[in-house]
Amino acid sequence: MSDELRLDALAIGAHPDDVELACGGTLSKLVSLGYRVGVIDMARGEMGTRGSAEIRAREAAAASRELNLAVRDNLELPDGHIWLTEEARVRMVRKIRLYRPRVIFTHYWEDPHPDHVHTCQIVREAAHVAGLAKYDAETGQERFRPHTVAHFMFPRTAAPTFLVDTSDFAEKKHSAILCYRSQLHDPNSTEPETNLSNEAFLRRVEARQRFYGSLIAVEHAEGFIVREALNVHDPIELLSRKMNMYS
Short-list 17, 23, 16, 9, CA closest to 154 = 23
| Local confidence band at 243 (pLDDT 50, 70, 90 cut-offs) | low
Which positions ≥6 away from 50 have C-beta within 8 Å? 182, 183, 189, 191, 192, 194, 196, 197
Burial class (CB in 10 A: 0-12, 13-18, 19+), 167: middle
Residue 204 pLDDT > 60: yes
Torsions phi, psi of 71, nearest 5?
A: -145, 140
Q: For the chain, what are the domain ranges?
A: 9-239
Q: Strands across the sheet with 148-152, in order?
A: 71-77, 37-43, 9-13, 103-107, 148-152, 221-226, 162-165
| Interior angle at CA 211, CA 208 and CA 217, nearest 5 | 145
Residue 222 pLDDT > 60: yes
User: Which stretches of the chain are assigned E, i.e. beta strand?
Assistant: 9-13, 37-43, 71-77, 103-107, 148-152, 162-165, 221-226
Alpha helices for 68-152 (secondary structure H): 86-99, 114-129
pTM, two decimals, is 0.94
Can you say how many angstroms the Cα of residue 6 is from the centroid of all Cα atoms in its chain?
Answer: 17
Q: Fill in the amino acid letter for 12.
A: I
Structural contact between residues 104 and 132, judged by C-beta atoms closer than 8 angstroms: no
Taking the C-alpha atoms of residue 16 and residue 238, their distance in angstroms, rounded to an integer, is 33
Structural contact between residues 41 and 14, judged by C-beta atoms closer than 8 angstroms: yes
Question: What pLDDT, in 10s, does the model give residues 150-201?
Answer: 999 999 899 999 999 999 999 999 999 999 998 888 888 888 888 888 889 9
Structural contact between residues 56 and 16, judged by C-beta atoms closer than 8 angstroms: yes
Average pLDDT of the chain?
A: 94
Question: What pLDDT, in 10s, does the model give residues 34-72?
Answer: 999 999 999 998 888 887 899 999 999 999 999 999 999
Question: What pLDDT, in 10s, does the model give residues 126-138?
Answer: 999 999 999 999 9
CATH architecture, domain 9-239: 3-Layer(aba) Sandwich (3.40)
Structural contact between residues 127 and 40, judged by C-beta atoms closer than 8 angstroms: no
| Local confidence band at 147 (pLDDT 50, 70, 90 cut-offs) | very high
Return the sign of the alpha-carbon dihedral for residues 194, 113, 226, 26: negative
Which pLDDT value is given to residue 118?
Answer: 98
Residue 122 pLDDT > 80: yes
